[in-house]
Amino acid sequence: MRIAYLDCFAGISGDMFLGALVDVGVPLDVLQSTVATLNLGVELKAETVDRSGISCTKVNVLVNGKPADGAGGRSHSHSHEQQHHTHEQHQEKHFYRRQPQTQHLHKGGHAHEHEHPPHEHGRSLSVIRAMIQNAALDAKVKATAIQTFELLGKSEAKIHNVAIEKIHFHEVGAVDAIADIVAAAAGIHALAAGKWVCSPLNVGSGMVDCAHGRFPVPAPATADLLRGAPTYSSGPQMELVTPTGAALVRALGCEFSTQPAMRVEKIGYGAGSRNPKDFPNVLRLSIGESDSTAADTVIVLETTVDDCSPELLGFLMERALSAGALDVTFAPVQMKQNRPATHITVLAQPKDAASLQELLFRETSTLGIRVRQEQRVTLQRKFITVSTAWGDVRIKLGLLNEEVVNAAPEFADCRALAEKSGIALKQIMQAALAAYYTGKAK
């Protein structure tokens, strides 16, 4: 499986993410052509820069030919040293709440209240969503971009205690945000990683001025987006994770851990705008293949019940599997007082363990669950499709060091063909394997 690993030792922001994508090999033309379809007068420019001795890629957003860092309200700086928010520090594209006196959030995060004509009030989420939907983009790119904006909008709406459609982007900030997020979505799908993994995130330290007042880093929207994610604070006093960066991590569905066992093939570094002394302000992106013989960490949840009916247990299995359980097994056991009982074992990824633990409590009569962490070894898996006389069937392959050691027809495909044709299920399964072994893969 192709793995993308984000090493966020200096945080993450939209432009850092774009720079890492380009540095790891995603063509800039892919990102540039994507933002061009939006017809917003936006273009991207990449350059090689130095950050504490590390050569990395900086992607700049140009709005009508001018750097976004110097456009509209994007370039304003505070007099406080730790709050000179440049492109990646306050690229977070703060939303504001529409009021008679509109409160616009500028680059540094502080607010100016003044009257504006209606056209300057910015874009609502519905307008941005429609703009992306109407662009000539792949459906998957649209879905990722819209999901990222919705994550941002939901966090700000929660903080302001208003409906999500009352959250608006500043006019220039919206253009820049759309470019960053839509280009990032295109780069994500161009990279075609089967799994995204993210390190614990360094959020930085210090204080940040925003519409909600003076807050410690991370800013309120960032803090909300990072709920449940592993975070820490280290390095210079500056904001390292922006809401845009946090929303992208969430939209990717990242697993949070140290670098998994993988054969790294490419490494890219995306630069932030600032270059503090002795602190490489970069995002590192590593791309590689998972080691087919490597162990990964799983959580084992176990409990034993003697007063649950088969109907309840069957329902529990369905719910657990749909909630992300890797496997669910039942085993008959004998408990105290000679009572027949059922031993329940649920195998889960670490990120899903808490929700599955709650499910066990809610859907069974258990009063306690045994929880332990284990390592498991899995083969690398992939699918190919073969043709039979009754239709196509997927074959699941298990690879050990690139060698196929297991091949099995996908049961659901074979069952569907059996029900449609009236042919015995075992005959279709045998035909699918024969097609695979005789080289009739599509």
pLDDT of 336 above 50: yes
pLDDT of 292 above 80: no
- Proportion of the chain above pLDDT 90, given as a percent: 60
Reading the block at residue 314, the tokens are 């069957």
CA gap 150, 162 in Å, rounded = 14
Residue pair 365/344 in contact (Cβ under 8 Å)? The answer is: no
Of 92-106, 160-174, 345-359, which gets the smallest average pLDDT? 92-106
Residues 6+ apart with CB under 8 A from 136: 37
330 backbone dihedrals φ, ψ, rounded to 5°: -120, 140
271 backbone dihedrals φ, ψ, rounded to 5°: -90, 140
Residues 6+ apart with CB under 8 A from 317: 328, 330
Reading the block at residue 404, the tokens are 């196929």
Selected from 3.90.1150.10, 3.10.20.300, 3.40.50.300, 1.10.8.350, the CATH number assigned to the domain covering 380-437 reads 3.10.20.300
DSSP assignment, residue 422?
-
On the CB side of 81, CA atoms within 13 Å amount to: 3
Give one DSSP letter per residue of 14-43, joined into a string. HHHHHHHHHHTT--HHHHHHHHHTT-SSEE
Reading the block at residue 351, the tokens are 């990120």
Reading the block at residue 258, the tokens are 């140290």
pLDDT of 98 above 80: no
State the span(s) of the chain assigned CATH 3.10.20.300.
380-437
- Average pLDDT for residues 309-332, to the nearest whole number? 94
pLDDT of 73 above 80: no
Residue 1's pLDDT is 74
Residue 212's pLDDT is 61
Residue 207's pLDDT is 85
Host H or E run for residue 151: helix 139-160
pTM comes to 0.61
- pLDDT band for position 122 (50/70/90)? low
Characterize the bridge pairing of strands 255-256 and 195-198. parallel
Residue 124's pLDDT is 82
Reading the block at residue 165, the tokens are 């459609």
Please give the CATH number for the structural domain made up of 295-377. Answer: 3.30.70.1380
138-168 confidence digits (pLDDT tens): 999 999 999 999 998 888 888 778 888 777 7
Residue 268's pLDDT is 97
- pLDDT band for position 317 (50/70/90)? very high
Average pLDDT over all residues of the chain: 84
**CA of 366: how far to CAs of 189, 315, 372, in Å?**
43, 15, 17
Radius of gyration from C-alpha coordinates of the chain: 25
Reading the block at residue 86, the tokens are 């440049």
Residue 126's pLDDT is 86
